Amino acid sequence: MPVMRIMRRRFWRYALGLMLILSGLFLALDYFMPLPDPERMRSVIVLSDNRTPLRAFADEQGVWRYPADLEAISPLYIDALLTYEDRWFYYHFGINPFSLMRAAWQWVRNGEVISGGSTLTMQVARILDPHARTIPGKARQMFRALQLEWHYSKDEILNFYLNLAPYGGPIEGVQTASYAYLRKPALKLSHAEAALLAVLPQAPSYLRPDRHPERARRYRDKVLRRMHTLGDWSQKTVDDALMEPVSQSALRQPMMAPLFAQRMKGVAQAQAKARLITELDAGLQWTVENVLRTRLGLLPPEASAAVLVMENKTGAVKAYAGSADFFDAQRAGQVDMVQAQRSPGSTLKPFLYGMALDKGLIHEESLLSDAPLSLQGYAPKNFANNYQGAVSVRSALQQSLNVPAVDLLQRLNPNVFDARLRHGGISLSYPTNEQPNLSLILGGAGTSLEQLVQGFSALARGGMSIKPRFTADDERIERRLLSPEASWVIGDILRGLPTPSGFAAGRLNVAWKTGTSYGFRDAWAVGYNQRYTVGVWTGRPDGTPLPGRYGGRASGPILFDVFQALPAPRDSLRRPESVQKQTICWPLGRRLHDTPTQHCHQKKQAWLIDDVAPPTWRNQVHADWSAGLQTYWVNPATGLRVTATCNTPQREKRQVARWPLEVWPWLSEAMKARMRLPDFDKSCPRQVLITHSTDLQIEQFNDSTVLKWPQQGQNLAVDLQAQGGQGEHTWLVDGLPVGQVTAGQALRYQFERPGQYELTVLDSNANADRVQIRVVP
């Protein structure tokens, strides 16, 4: 008895010593032979907000992996995998001795491998550290399996298998295989699909369903039958699964929002992430790309398009199409036009008018002059190359008139406008050595679609812009661009813009603005409602002009196609209480109750901010041309005009409201009649020379006049003279003022080149005459 006790003690002592030696050996080997990092083999996948793959990027070896955790994999797959491959996974220590002994016995008995003895942990070990199929290689594999169990939990090891298991060709990981072979996420697998993906890693090239569907089906059915034999799945479930075919679909990687995903790849790599979840909405992205595919046939062969959709509340980008067709080289489909610097055309005008509203320069129905203008040598022209005379702020913005916008920018100051835009998220770029100038409001600077969308978001968010956010981790950056009042008034104006043919404005409730850069190089349409801001650009990425492709025609329909696909807003943008409707009067621009009846020539309904109605601007070039009140005196006995020095008893002082002189050629005869002063009373003669006729008429020229350009090196100069009228004669050539003379005198004018010219003369009593002449070479 004592001998047996001594032997047992020695056995346990030797066993403990052996365990300590083996443990020490294991720890030493673990230190000197560290386990390869399971995360070292990573590709990058960019996902939508609901985890739909947008685009995957292979690793350095060209392998595709869509990283996924256990929560993203169907429980049916996990069940089939563990049942078929390693039923005791959660109970062994990385090596299953019973499975190894069974496999070894079958090998000795049959002379070949009948079944493997590897656990899932050992399979992961072989993936991380490939080895030869020899006894030393098997020993190395088992050591690596022990290392895995030592350093990681069972769920972590299982997750390594889910992401690293081979599935044929460049495909690794069950999520990658599910999308590549089945076109669906691994969370939505059927019983048959789960069994198929569970068996593929046994012989990935031999069983690839895209090449060998029948062979893959036979092995899948083997798994299904075992699931029933072992009592995991019912007979009916297995029978139904056996009827499901194996689709021989071509291996295909996801390619949604490719340029956006390419941009996000850099973000993922900078953050050392293999999987980047973005804010993009996969369904909306597909809709936007489908809109572009539908509209592609209407674009010129080398034109492209870009669309950006942003959620106003959060700034989350929900759709991002950087080009019309990523794979179309003729359209430069791999150039991201969301980020490209382009001329914005007239798309900046809403911000100009909004800032002028905030500064108190204008109200919604202020009288502006759409007439030829020259400021600092810069003479803008309208897109249609015509003029309308007196226009309101609302009309000028809706029609995108250039002259009133340039006039307003000069008053606001281009540097101030540029700085305010920059603060709000629109950073304009200029040619080398150029500074902000008057041309920037007509597209004389550069910006991007992304920045325009950020700027227009301010109009939808009470004047506060928000920077587009691509992931949930992106910082929320908001900047004040306009006041809530100004942004609402501008939005009300832009909602009144006619929609493209075939679209109903009421349901969509979209405020929008178009823009066309010089030479038809860029066509823009940017719009918003309460929930979304959408920007569209069309044109050629290389900047080649596309004549006739302007914003409303080329980009407007795409914009409204996108808005039709978006959820309709429940409410409209709420009007601030400080914005109220008032009646104002032209030409003075004051409120009705502040304007005597005789001075209110036209009534307008205008939204006023804080009940402030700034008067009509003074002319920046000729102050005496401005709208205002003209004072005169009359003889009350005759009602005729007299001079201020006349000794007529009880001389009465009177006033008449005058329109800006530059808009007189476009006024109706009835409106001019309201400004005409009475004739002078002959009993109290004027002390200046006046003409006897009040009929103003241009001499020498009429509408059939043709002048011959002189020989080379000489100039064509003419004397402009008119008869009749009263007071000073003001002359305009093509709407631009060229001089002023006393009635009866001539003005010397020199033509610069042959062409069609319009000559206009105005007197101080609102009379006008106009003729068209031609100067031929």
pLDDT digits (tens, 9 = 90+) for 720-743: 988 887 778 888 888 778 888 888
Flag the least confident range among 138-142, 222-226, 414-418, 442-446: 138-142
> What does pLDDT average to over the chain?
87
Flag the least confident range among 7-21, 734-748, 750-764: 7-21
Alpha-carbon torsion, ordered 280, 281, 285, 287, to 10 deg: -160
Model confidence at 262: pLDDT above 90: yes
What pLDDT was estimated at residue 569?
77
Asked whether 41 and 63 are in contact (CB, 8 A), the reply is: yes
In this structure, which topology does domain 692-777 adopt according to CATH? Immunoglobulin-like (2.60.40)
What pLDDT was estimated at residue 690?
40
Q: Give one word for 589, left, alpha or beta, with left for phi > 0 and alpha for psi -120 to 50.
A: left
What pLDDT was estimated at residue 605?
96
Model confidence at 363: pLDDT above 80: yes
- Residue carrying structure tokens 């800006």: 660
DSSP annotation of 706 reads E
What is the token pair recorded at 739? 């001089």
Rounded distance, CA 368 to CA 379, Å?
A: 16
685 pLDDT band, cuts 50/70/90, is: low
Candidate list 99, 178, 304, 346, residue with the active-site label: 346
Q: Find, among 396, 403, 409, the residue nearest to 379 by Cα.
A: 403
Question: Once rounded to an integer, what is the mean pLDDT over residues 308-321?
Answer: 97
Please give the order of strands across the beta sheet that includes 652-658. Answer: 641-642, 628-634, 652-658
What pLDDT was estimated at residue 461?
96
Model confidence at 126: pLDDT above 80: yes
Model confidence at 210: pLDDT above 60: yes
Model confidence at 353: pLDDT above 60: yes
Rounded distance, CA 321 to CA 666, Å?
A: 46
Q: Where are the alpha helices (DSSP H) in 608-748?
A: 669-675
Rounded distance, CA 606 to CA 590, Å?
A: 11
693 pLDDT band, cuts 50/70/90, is: very low
Asked whether 696 and 722 are in contact (CB, 8 A), the reply is: yes
> Cα–Cα distances in Å, from 677 out to 288, 628, 632?
62, 15, 8
Model confidence at 26: pLDDT above 60: no
Rounded distance, CA 739 to CA 719, Å?
A: 12
Question: Once rounded to an integer, what is the mean pLDDT over residues 454-472?
Answer: 97
H/E stretch holding 286: helix 282-295
Q: What sign for the dihedral angle of Cα 416, 417, 419, 420?
A: positive
Angle at 565 between CA 564 and CA 568, to 5 degrees: 65
193 is catalytic: no
Residues 6+ apart with CB under 8 A from 591: 582, 583, 584, 585, 608, 611, 613
34-42+59-242 has which CATH code? 1.10.3810.10
23 pLDDT band, cuts 50/70/90, is: low
What pLDDT was estimated at residue 639?
85
Question: Once rounded to an integer, what is the mean pLDDT over residues 758-763?
Answer: 86
Model confidence at 87: pLDDT above 90: no
CATH architecture for residues 279-322+448-575: 3-Layer(aba) Sandwich (3.40)
What pLDDT was estimated at residue 197?
95
Instruction: Return the beta strands (E) in 398-528 as ranges.
Output: 464-466, 478-480, 511-516, 522-528
Residues 6+ apart with CB under 8 A from 246: 196, 209, 213, 214, 216, 217, 220
Model confidence at 104: pLDDT above 60: no
What angle in degrees, to the nearest 10, is found between the helix axes of 120-128 and 75-85?
90
Question: Once rounded to an integer, what is the mean pLDDT over residues 13-21?
Answer: 63
Cα of first residue to Cα of last residue in the chain, in angstroms, is: 137
Candidate list 43, 74, 85, 662, residue with the active-site label: 85
105 pLDDT band, cuts 50/70/90, is: low
What pLDDT was estimated at residue 539?
95
Rounded distance, CA 450 to CA 307, Å?
A: 9
Model confidence at 746: pLDDT above 70: yes
346 is catalytic: yes
Higher pLDDT, 571 or 550: 550
H/E stretch holding 239: helix 235-242
386 pLDDT band, cuts 50/70/90, is: confident
Residues 6+ apart with CB under 8 A from 133: none
What pLDDT was estimated at residue 484?
97
Higher pLDDT, 504 or 736: 736
Residues 6+ apart with CB under 8 A from 153: none
116 pLDDT band, cuts 50/70/90, is: low
What pLDDT was estimated at residue 22?
56
What pLDDT was estimated at residue 13?
65
Model confidence at 247: pLDDT above 70: yes
H/E stretch holding 774: strand 768-776
Total-model pTM: 0.80
Asked whether 346 and 403 are in contact (CB, 8 A), the reply is: no
For 586, other C-beta atoms within 10 Å of its C-beta total 23
Alpha-carbon torsion, ordered 18, 19, 24, 29, to 10 deg: 100
76 pLDDT band, cuts 50/70/90, is: very high
Question: Once rounded to an integer, what is the mean pLDDT over residues 450-459?
Answer: 98
261 pLDDT band, cuts 50/70/90, is: very high
Question: Of 431-440, 464-473, 551-560, 704-713, which one has max mean pLDDT?
Answer: 464-473
Phi, psi (deg, nearest 5) at residue 597: -55, -40
What is the bridge-based pairing of β-strands 532-539 and 522-528?
A: antiparallel
What pLDDT was estimated at residue 199?
93
Rounded distance, CA 467 to CA 314, Å?
A: 9
Model confidence at 587: pLDDT above 50: yes
What is the bridge-based pairing of β-strands 697-698 and 755-762?
A: unpaired
How do residues 616-640 score in pLDDT, each as one tens digit? 998 887 777 889 998 888 888 888 8
What pLDDT was estimated at residue 98?
66
Model confidence at 113: pLDDT above 70: no
Q: What percent of the chain has pLDDT over 90?
A: 50
What pLDDT was estimated at residue 637?
82
For 83, other C-beta atoms within 10 Å of its C-beta total 19
